[in-house]
């Protein structure tokens, strides 16, 4: 294992130690006592199972939360980042060593994504409920759009053979990584746009995997620290996602090898589209000046 991967995995461990400390602090500071339900754990199993297979977890989780009416809409972005951190950690460890990407590019894109996540979490934590509902409704529509393109074969960008970038291509990739890191805080997954961008820049399609996994593995605990500070996450559902997510990743990685992913994506498209419409209708009905529900 080269020095970059050792450094990356070391950083992964350190930010996750900070993640645990931050969560304990938040639980004590905000007196969080909510326990996960079986439903929370089941959502974690299903959505992180889908994530490991390449479908994604943020959009399906948001849809299922909206379908059952909990947690509150303004707590969903924080809950996504906190609750899916265990799967991001596992996926980084399992996948990042499988493909070799130029070390400086990998490290720069991961650091940029983490910086974007820190900024994004701070902004999202201060947004009113209606604004978050609007952002997440649009995010769900974007996710459904990418799923449709994938099923229709429109995302099959040929790409190139490179595993490194230089010059303006390097700068563009790092800059876009920052933006995608920030957008993760409102529920927009980074896999599809990252894969398309790198392919258009001439990189091998496989190069997106270690960059995406490593970025998520670092940026989610970093973003979570911002949500811990504000208390804008749901404690019980986050715990449920953590517990179920570990099981979902292990089932997908070690047991399930082949599934009808196209059919599964069409099902996800229906669920996510319903949630998007529901979220936007909630935003339309809410007062523009209505504050978010206070964290207990």
The reported pLDDT for the residue numbered 295 is: 45
Q: Compute the distance between CA of residue 172 and CA of residue 33 in angstroms, rounded to an integer.
A: 44
Contact yes or no for 225/19 (Cβ under 8 A): yes
SS3 181: helix
The reported pLDDT for the residue numbered 287 is: 61
Q: How many CB atoms lie within 10 A of CB 175?
A: 13
pTM for the complete prediction?
0.81
Of 95, 70, 114, 91, which is closest to residue 238 (Cα–Cα)?
70
Q: Compute the distance between CA of residue 273 and CA of residue 257 in angstroms, rounded to an integer.
A: 28
Residue ranges per structural domain of the chain? 3-285
The reported pLDDT for the residue numbered 293 is: 47
Q: Compute the distance between CA of residue 154 and CA of residue 42 in angstroms, rounded to an integer.
A: 32
Q: Which residues of the chain have pLDDT under 50?
A: 292-296
């Amino acid at each position: 294992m080269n020095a970059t991967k050792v450094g990356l995995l070391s950083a992964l461990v350190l930010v996750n130690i900070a993640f645990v400390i931050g969560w304990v602090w938040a639980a004590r500071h905000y007196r969080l006592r909510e326990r996960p339900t079986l439903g929370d754990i089941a959502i974690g199993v299903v959505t992180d199972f889908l994530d490991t297979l390449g479908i994604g977890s943020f959009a399906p989780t948001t849809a299922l939360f909206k379908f059952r009416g909990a947690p509150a809409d303004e707590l969903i972005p924080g809950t996504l980042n906190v609750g899916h951190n265990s799967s991001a950690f596992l996926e980084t460890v399992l996948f990042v060593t499988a493909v070799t990407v130029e070390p400086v590019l990998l490290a720069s894109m991961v650091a940029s994504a983490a910086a974007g996540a820190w900024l994004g979490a701070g902004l999202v934590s201060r947004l009113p409920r209606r604004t978050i509902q609007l952002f997440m409704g649009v995010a769900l529509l974007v996710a459904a759009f990418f799923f449709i393109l994938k099923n229709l074969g429109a995302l099959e960008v040929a790409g190139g053979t490179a595993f490194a970038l230089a010059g303006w291509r390097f700068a563009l990739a790092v800059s876009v990584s920052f933006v995608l890191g920030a957008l993760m805080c409102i529920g927009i997954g980074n896999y599809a746009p990252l894969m398309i961008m790198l392919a258009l820049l001439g990189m091998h399609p496989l190069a997106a995997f270690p960059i995406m996994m490593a970025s998520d593995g670092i940026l989610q605990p970093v973003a979570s620290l911002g949500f811990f500070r504000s208390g804008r996450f749901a404690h019980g559902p986050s715990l449920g996602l953590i517990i179920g997510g570990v099981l979902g990743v292990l089932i997908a990685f070690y047991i399930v090898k082949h599934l009808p992913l196209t059919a599964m994506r069409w099902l996800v498209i229906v669920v996510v589209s319903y949630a998007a419409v529901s979220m936007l209708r909630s935003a339309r009905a809410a007062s523009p000046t209505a504050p978010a529900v206070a964290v207990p």
